[in-house]
Amino acid sequence: MIAKTSNSKEVDNLVERRKHSDLFNKILMGLNIACWLTFLAALVMFHYARPEIEYGIIRYFNLSVREGWLHTPKEVLIALLYVCAGLSLLTIVLNRFRARRQSDSLKVNLITLLIISLSFLLVVSL
């Protein structure tokens, strides 16, 4: 919030000059969508790469269960997580360059996605 000073009339008379979103804002929106789609693809790859879960019924019938990660899907998963974290970081930096007003959004979803991607990357890499 803008503090009221002796020039409060000038502050109250500020005109919003942004009539519509410009090209840079649309690029940021597209990068945001690309980040989330990359993370969604990483979740799909995680489903196929992870070890199988041994449920009780599987143990009862003595069925074989894969206990290790599949190598190729795991590599794709790690690459997708790196791309997701990189795109998130790029979008956060570009947004900080663009957002100069106090009323501009912080894009908390990208910060959250960056943290989740990096922590997920640490878990999968170990």
Residue 79 to residue 40: CA distance in whole angstroms: 13
Place of tokens 């009539």: 19
From first to last of the 126 residues of the chain, give the pLDDT tens digit: 445 555 555 555 656 665 666 788 888 889 999 999 999 999 999 999 988 888 888 888 888 888 888 899 999 999 999 999 999 999 989 888 776 665 556 678 899 999 999 999 999 988
User: What is the tens place of the pLDDT at every residue in 64-89?
Assistant: 888 888 899 999 999 999 999 999 99
This prediction's pTM: 0.75
CB-count exposure of residue 63 (10 Å: 0-12, 13-18, 19+): exposed
Residue 74 to residue 118: CA distance in whole angstroms: 15
CA 65 to chain centre: 33
